[in-house]
Structure 1
């Protein structure tokens, strides 16, 4: 007797709508709510942000984007406290990323 292997599931490969729907459902289940920071956490992040900005050291940035918490390594290039924006250059692709300070969850020195 010869096992069928993956041939058994081949008929379902003809329904791409099913895969799209399943992917959307999995992504919705993986979403997390944006955490609310305390005053103490915000002050600690502010001091670390200032230190990273003035010393050009790399830092781990954790931020909230589209229902996910993402952590990247990068260097802070610019902080606009009035516009509540900051620009950081990621370590991998060396791209400039513009983000809101309200999306920032955590920042730590490397």
Structure 2
């Protein structure tokens, strides 16, 4: 794909090539077992109460995204949590079902 980039002189062509490249990197969302979900929940609760920094791996738009941050709020019944991004210090609200893995830094 890299060899065709110099020929992407028209914006429509560049957008099309970028879509093809992004489709190649897409992965399916993994299905977690009950044990993995419980471990994620325990790690989130511990990180919340101890104010520990965590690595969050989550699924978004066909990609696996890894971010570091601090957990601010967890709502197991509402299926969401809030974390503060380490880099920009922004509050991010996410669904628990999008989480793949949570680990301490």
> Do these two structures clear the TM 0.5 threshold for a shared fold by scoring above it?
yes
Provide the rounded CA distance (Å) in 1 between the counterparts of 2:61 and 2:47: 26
- Alignment correspondent of 1:49: 44
Equivalent runs, 1:1-110 vs 2, <5 Å: 12=7, 14-110=9-105
- Structure 1: give runs of 5+ residues left out of the alignment: 1-8
Q: CA deviation at 1:12?
A: 3.6
Q: CA deviation at 1:46?
A: 1.2
TM-score by length of 1: 0.86
For the pair shown, the structure with the greater C-alpha radius of gyration is 1
Q: CA deviation at 1:39?
A: 1.3
- Structure 2: give runs of 5+ residues left out of the alignment: none
TM-score by length of 2: 0.90
Q: CA deviation at 1:13?
A: 5.2
SS state at 2:12 partner: helix
| Root-mean-square deviation over aligned CA pairs | 1.6
Runs ≥4 residues deviating over 3 A: 11-14
